[in-house]
Amino acid sequence: MTWAVEATGLRKTYPAKDGEVEAVRGVDLHVRTGEVFGFLGPNGAGKSTTVRMLTTLLTITGGTASVAGVDVAKDPDGVRRKIGVALQEAGLDPRQTGRELLTLQARLFGNSTAEAKDIAQVQLELVDLVEAGDHRVKGYSGGMKRRLDLASALVHEPEVLFLDEPTTGLDPASRLTIWDEVRRINGHGTTVFLTTQYLEEADQLCDRLAIIDGGRIVLEGTPADLKADLRRRKGLTADPTLDDVFLDATGRTRTKVAGEVAEVQA
């Protein structure tokens, strides 16, 4: 099988006064082509560091990793051509219109002006921003900016889309809209690698997930299997939530706000 994302013994260390700090300590990951894969973990667990290595934004200290069949360390440019990345803070020029931004992004990937305009139209339709496409980004709501950022990451039809906490800071209605967009993008065949601190989000969207803590993967599986395993091991009389699974795996606490999803806290 050709994995969409594969990592073996992935490590990242940083120099420190008394030696080295291990941020990632031998992570093994296998993400199937076409799935939505969730990557969960509390702050400081090594989640962001792992993703930054997989997306070529950080060098790899040890181990190996490949994305869409391309070795991350040996051919980072090749990886970049096959991935889309939407970071937590959208890097959008507020002076441009949504259509202008997408057209420019498509041109940067070598498309002609006519091709870029066609791609921009397709992406605006994909994320339901056609009516707002000729408005300046500075007038977009937070949810609209996130959807435009998704579209920007998709203009070159990447095989793997990395989403870094795409709904952080959004109201519940906008969060649900982003969930719908992720499902739609995945339905078009794009593998989605999703990092999130919202447990309900992972439960709703992810085919499988992994939990990282202390720089190591501590649990992996489908949300349903992980919950069923916890119920069996603990002898619970009611079905546990993914929050309960997370707590059992890491020992962290959580806070719930009425009407919103749970957010993991270190």
Q: What is the mean pLDDT of each run of 10 residues along the chain (266 residues)?
A: 91 88 94 96 89 95 96 96 81 90 92 94 89 94 86 90 86 86 90 92 95 95 96 93 93 50 43
What's the pLDDT at 126?
A: 82
Report the Cα–Cα distance between both ends of the chain, in Å, rounded.
36
Domains in the chain, number: 1
| Residue 260 lies inside a defined structural domain of this protein | no
| Residue 230 lies inside a defined structural domain of this protein | no
| Cα angle for residues 125, 129, 133 (degrees, 5° grid) | 105
What's the pLDDT at 174?
A: 82
Residue 266 to residues 26, 44, 172, 250, Cα–Cα distance (Å):
21, 8, 23, 10
| Residue 200 lies inside a defined structural domain of this protein | yes
Amino acid at 227: K
| Residue 20 lies inside a defined structural domain of this protein | yes
Cα(86)–Cα(189) distance, rounded to whole angstroms?
17
| Residue 254 lies inside a defined structural domain of this protein | no
Cα(203)–Cα(36) distance, rounded to whole angstroms?
11
Is pTM beyond 0.75 here? yes
| Residue 199 lies inside a defined structural domain of this protein | yes
What's the pLDDT at 89?
A: 60
| Residue 161 lies inside a defined structural domain of this protein | yes
| Residue 241 lies inside a defined structural domain of this protein | no
Range of the domain at 177: 5-219
What's the pLDDT at 254?
A: 52
